[in-house]
Chain A
Amino acid sequence: MTTQSIKTFFSRAIATGVDFEELYQTELPRVYNFFRYRVGDNQFAEDLTAETFEKAWRNREHYRNDIAAFSTWLFTIARRVAQDYYRKHRHNEIPLDEISKISANELTEDTFQQNADFAQLSVLLVRLADRERELVALKYGAGLTNRAIAHLSGLTESNVGVILYRTIQTLRSEWENDYER
């Protein structure tokens, strides 16, 4: 992956003198982890990440903001890709117990506990309402700030904070309940 090629992809932002290699490598894992938390499956997350970057490339001439807004623009596309995914798979969602099986198939000895925990978290995330699940994915998957999430979702920053707080409370409670069983 050459710096020149990455500069071409982010051609709008060349004038700002930002390190584009770093920018690409920063945004790719953020988008990928947004989808992992959003759909709970690594393979789907890769597919949707690829779709997001391909759409971003096809629509790059529509990006007219400064470099600080690039992440927001990219996540606007990512959210739309996720919404399309759920619209297409609404009647074909992976059953809750299947998520555990899929994740269990990926287990290795070294990462057994972490993968088991993520499988457990995926099951809990599936139970959340769509909006809450998206906010969790943006906050904890992509690592966006509450302000950035508010900008993307149309909610106020304080509203984002309150919803996330309540969602975490719910997740915490269900997590502990599931472990006690």
Chain B
Amino acid sequence: MNDDLLTKFRKAPRPEFAASLYQRINKPMKTKSKYMTLRFASLTLSLFAVLTATLLFSPTVRALADTIIGQFSAYIFVQGTPVPVQQDVAEKKKSEVQSEPNKDVAYSFAPDAAAASQLAGFTVLTPGYVPEGFIPSSIDNVTGGWRITSKWGGEAALVNFDNPVDNSYLIIEELKIGQDHPITVERPEIVAVTVRGLPGAWLPDGNDGKSVLVWDENGITYSVISNKLPLEELQKIAESLGR
């Protein structure tokens, strides 16, 4: 067996396939026009105006909106009781986020933020501050670096740290959602906070034992997640991103 044997199995795509694929990617381009774009933009603006007016003048809708404290590009956090998670499942989830990524989730590895940015398609921000005792996690025999994975039609960049002394973990997720809708998550407590001068939310201990600091910045949803760090530490980490 040599290299020729490996390359000789290449073959041209069927002409019918090439033609039908071309038709599929070409059709929307033929129908898309400046007029259509303008019409779509005016429709979006009209809908936005109606929604804004409804929120301003309808007490019922305003009351409903008040129950939704944290709304971000990728998540909508609603105050409520999360569905209880069985103890063994919760333990499994903890161990997955702490050291081993979910085996069902495929990811690409990037050694640094520059490579991660290229893979993710947006500028990935590295934390300038990590609390004492935290070291880069080892995942799939690779220590440190970023994992890039597809999430809800977009791309997510994750970096993990472990503190072996008190068995705590720290995860920073930077997510640019794609065409999918944001996911709604119930949390027992949602605290409105300011992060990097922007509106954010702190979600203290849920039934999975982790707390999350989340905010939107330049179209990216950032989450700083830990099972033991207090809000002040999560804030310091958030403030240090990219600085």
Contacts and interface: CB of A to CB of B under 8 A. Distances in A.
Interface of A: 1, 5, 8-9, 28-29, 32-33, 36-37, 46, 49-50, 53-54, 57, 62, 76, 79-80, 83-84, 86-87, 90, 114, 117-118, 121, 130, 136, 140-141, 143, 153-154, 168, 171-172, 175-176
A29 B115 contact: no
The secondary-structure label for the interface of chain A is helix
A8 B28 CA distance: 11
B25 interface: yes
B6 A136 contact: yes
Q: Top 10 nearest A-B pairs by Cβ distance?
A: A83-B106, A172-B1, A140-B6, A175-B1, A32-B13, A33-B10, A118-B9, A57-B25, A154-B110, A50-B21
A76 B119 contact: yes
Given A36-B9, A114-B9, A154-B108, A140 B18 contact: no
A154 B115 contact: yes
A122 B117 CA distance: 33
Contact of A33 (B11, B107, B111, B149): B11
Contacts of B121: 62
Contacts of A36: 9-11
Contacts, number: 94
Interface string B17-54: 11101101110110000000000000000000000000
Q: Which of B1, B104, B110, B150 gathers the greatest number of chain A CB atoms within 10 Å?
A: B1
A90 to B, nearest CB: 6
